[in-house]
């Protein structure tokens, strides 16, 4: 899966979204992702939801939008994670013009989620950071 090309095909407005979770790891060559998670501003979420082109799925007591391997996340801030979508966008790592959550923020995000797979990803991220210090 070429994540960059798939994201560009969505033609999302700059400044209103950030790629999160496993997709960040995939694009950096850390590990493969099975889907593409995109956190979007409330404005963009409402527009996408209103377009009727996305399936609505309830996860974590919230409505997510899903289509063809994409999960659209309506907000990032959870009980243990307080960063907003806008804050994650402003600190994003840009690769080929696409905003990806920076690795330090991704560690905070995955720590807050606290699942076993998240802790495995955190170790992968830390190893990647050690190997790629400049």
Map out the domains of the chain with their CATH numbers: 18-128 (3.30.460.40)
Q: What confidence category does residue 2 fall into, taking pLDDT thresholds of 50, 70 and 90?
A: confident
pLDDT in tens, 44-57: 999 999 998 999 99
- Average pLDDT over the chain reads 92
Polymer length of the chain: 134
- The per-residue pLDDT for 1 is 57
Using CA atoms, how far residue 134 sits from 45, 98, 131, in Å, is: 37, 22, 9
Instruction: Say what the pLDDT of residue 62 is.
Output: 83
| Pairs from 1-7 (Cβ < 8 Å, separation ≥ 24) | 1/26, 1/32, 1/33, 1/69, 3/27, 3/33, 3/36, 4/95, 4/96, 4/98, 6/36, 6/69, 6/70, 7/36, 7/38, 7/98
**Contact (Cβ atoms closer than 8 angstroms) between residue 111 and residue 118:** yes
Q: What is the pTM of this model?
A: 0.91
Residue 40 has phi, psi (to 5 degrees) of -125, 160
67-112, pLDDT tens digit by residue? 999 999 988 877 788 899 999 999 999 999 999 999 999 999 999 9
115 contact partners, CB below 8 Å, separation of at least 6? none
Q: Which of 82, 90, 83, 76 is nearest to 16 (CA)?
A: 90
**133 — pLDDT class (breaks 50, 70, 90):** confident
């Amino acid at each position: 899966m070429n994540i960059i090309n798939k994201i560009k095909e969505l033609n999302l407005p700059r400044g209103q979204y950030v790629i999160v979770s496993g997709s960040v790891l995939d694009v950096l060559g850390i590990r493969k992702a099975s889907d593409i998670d995109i956190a979007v501003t409330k404005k963009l979420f409402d527009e996408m939801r209103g377009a009727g082109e996305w399936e609505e799925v309830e996860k974590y007591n919230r409505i997510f939008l899903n289509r063809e391997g994409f999960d659209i996340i309506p907000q990032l801030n959870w009980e243990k994670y307080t960063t907003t979508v806008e804050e994650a966008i402003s600190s994003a790592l840009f690769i080929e013009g696409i905003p990806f959550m920076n690795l330090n923020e991704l560690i905070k995000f995955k720590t807050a989620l606290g699942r076993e797979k998240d802790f495995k990803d955190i170790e992968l991220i830390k190893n990647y950071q050690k190997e790629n210090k400049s």
